[in-house]
Amino acid sequence: MRNLIQFLENTCISNSDKMAIDAADGSLSFAQLRESALRIAAGIGTDCKKGMVVVYLPKGKDCLPAMLGTLYSGNAYVPMDYRAPVNRTKLIFEIVQPRLIITDERGKEYLTENGVPVELLCGYNSLIAENDPISDEDITKTIARTQDVDPAYMLFTSGSTGVPKGVVIPHRRVINYINWAREFFSISDNEVIGNQAPFYFTVSVMDIYLSLATGSKLCIIPEDKFSRPAMLIEYLNAHEITLIFWVSSVYQHVAKASALTENRPQFLRRAWFVGEPMSVSSLIYWMEQLPDVEFTNLYGSTETDMTICQRMPKDLFADGLPLGQACANTEALVIKEDLTVAQPGEIGEICIRGSCLALGYYKDHDKTQAAFIQNPLHSDYTDIIYRTGDLGEFRNGLIYFHGRKDHQFKHLGYRIEVGEIEAIAEKFPMIKNACVLYDGEKRQIALFYEADGVIDEAVYRRTLMEDLPIYMVPTRFVRLDEMPFNANRKKDRPLLKAQYLS
C-alpha cells in the first residue's frame, strides 16, 4: 500500500452498501462516502502540485469525505477545530498557507468576517453539487504518484513559544499502525466503533482508518453525551457499539458517576484507553462491571501515534498499570541523561523509533531536529528516534510511565505546553509574569500571575478564551505579590507547586 485511500478502495469492493458513518447529522454508506470524496477531489483538482488543504467543518458526516477527497486529489489534509478561537485559527492558516479551505456556509461567513481571503474558501456542498467524481484512471494516477513517505495529513499540537506546531504524518505510518491493530485485535467488519476523539486529535486516526480498512461502522458519538454518563451508556446500547477508544478521563468520569451500576453497555467487547494515566480505581470499576470486555492501554503522541500497547489482565497489576510493549515495526527505548540505555528498573526518557514516526514539524527545522534526533546508541548510519519527553522504565519486559520530563502535561487527553498558555496569559494588560502548573490529582490547570493593579479574573478568563481552546483555559487563578524565580532566573515551579498544589 502507498496511499490511505486504498483502504476505502478495497473495502468498497466487498462492503460498498454497508453503513460507513453514523452521525447526528446523517449517515453514509461506504459507496456514498467514496462518491462524495471523489467529487471533493474533482473540485480540488488532481493535476497540480501537492499541497495542504484545510478541512474547517463541524464534526459530523461531511468531515471524512472532505479529508479523503483531499487524499484522492493527491494532497494532504489539515483537520481544524471548528470552535477554536479565531486568532489561533488564523495563526494556523498563516503557518499552513493552504491551497484551499473546505468549509460550510457558516464557516465561510465567519472566516470572511475575520479577514480570511474569500478566494481560499470553498463550500463543501458546492464541491459535492458542482463536480462529477474523478475517474478510476485519476485514482490510479494518484496512487501511482504517491510514495508512502509522502504527507497524508497534518495535526497541530501546543507549542512552547505560544505558536502551535504542525506535525506532518506520512501515509506509511497510518498503514503500518492500522494493519497492526487489525491483526493484533482481530478486527472484522462486524465492529461498531464509537468515536469520541475530535478529528483534529491523533486518537481519532484509529477510529477512522480502522473503519475504512475493515468495513466496520464508525459511529460519531455526539459530544454532549460525554458530559452525561447515563445518556452515554444509553447511546452505546441504542447504536450497538462494540469498540471504544477514548481518553482516560472519559472512563474516569463514567466511573465517578457510577453510571455502569444502573445500565451497562450490552454490546461492548473492546475498550481501549489513552491519554493521561488511567486511574486504577476507575479501571477496576469498569472491569468489575464489564467482566467480558477486553480492556487495553495504548500509549503514543501526535509525533508517533499509538506505539506501546498492553492488554489489561483481570487481576490488574499490583505495582501500577504498565504502558506495555512496542507495537509492530516500532521500538521503544528508555534513554538516560548520559544518552546510554537505562537498565531494567532505571528511569529514563522514553524514545521511539520505527515506521511510526512523523516527518517532523511543518516549516520548523529547528524544533524537528531537537525532537527527532540521531539514535545516540550508534552513529553508523542515519537512525532517527523521537524524544517523547516522557519518563519511564522497563520492568519485567514492560514499560512503566513516570511522568513528564519537561513542562508539558496531558489534560482531557490533550498534550499541552505550559509555555503556550503562559505566552497568551502575559499578553493581558497589567500582567507582569504568568506561570502555569497542572494539578494532576484535581485535573486542574492553575495560572499563577503577578500584576500591576487589580485584575478582574472573570474578564481575564474570557480574554484567554479568545486565543486558547477551552481545554487549555485555566480553571484556577492565583495572584502573587511577586513571582518566585530560582538562581537561573527561571520561574520557580517547584516552589509554587510545593506551596499551592501539595
Flag whether 427 is in a domain. Answer: yes
Distance CA 152, CA 168 (A): 8
Give the pLDDT score at 23: 98
Q: List CB contacts of 243: < 8 A, sequence separation 6 or more.
A: 187, 191, 192, 193, 194, 216, 268, 269, 270, 271, 272
| Whether 387 and 441 share a structural domain | no
What does pLDDT average to over the chain?
A: 94
pLDDT, mean of residues 186-201:
97
Q: Which residue has the higher pLDDT, 490 or 375?
A: 375
Residue 279 lies in a domain: no
Report CA-CA distances (Å) from 49 to 73, 299, 359, 366, 378: 10, 35, 19, 26, 38
Residue 177's pLDDT is 96
360 and 496 both lie in a single domain: no
Total domains in the chain come to 3
- Are the CB atoms for 309 and 301 separated by under 8 Å? no
One domain for residues 162 and 132: yes
456 and 373 within one domain: no
Q: Does residue 58 sit in the same domain as residue 129?
A: yes
Binned at pLDDT 50, 70 and 90, residue 79 comes out as: very high
Query: Could you give the residue ranges of the DSSP H alpha helices within 293-361?
Result: none
Residue 230 forms part of a structural domain: no
**CA–CA separation, 434 and 446 (whole Å):** 10
Residues 361 and 427 in one domain: no
Average pLDDT over residues 13-17: 96
Across the range 200-215, mean pLDDT stands at: 97
Same domain, 400 and 422: no
Q: Which residue has the cell 516527518?
A: 359
CA gap 33, 312 in Å, rounded: 35
In a domain, 239, yes or no: no
**What is the pLDDT, as a whole number, of residue 316?**
77
316 secondary structure, DSSP code = -
How much is the pLDDT for 488?
59
487: confidence class by pLDDT, cuts 50, 70, 90: low
**pTM passes above 0.85:** yes
Q: Is residue 474 helix, strand or coil?
A: coil
* Choice between 9 and 502, residue whose per-residue pLDDT is larger: 9
C-beta neighbour count of 211 within 10 angstroms = 29
In this structure, the answer to whether residues 106 and 134 fall within a common structural domain is yes
**Same domain? 376 vs 436:** no
Range of the domain at 398: 321-404
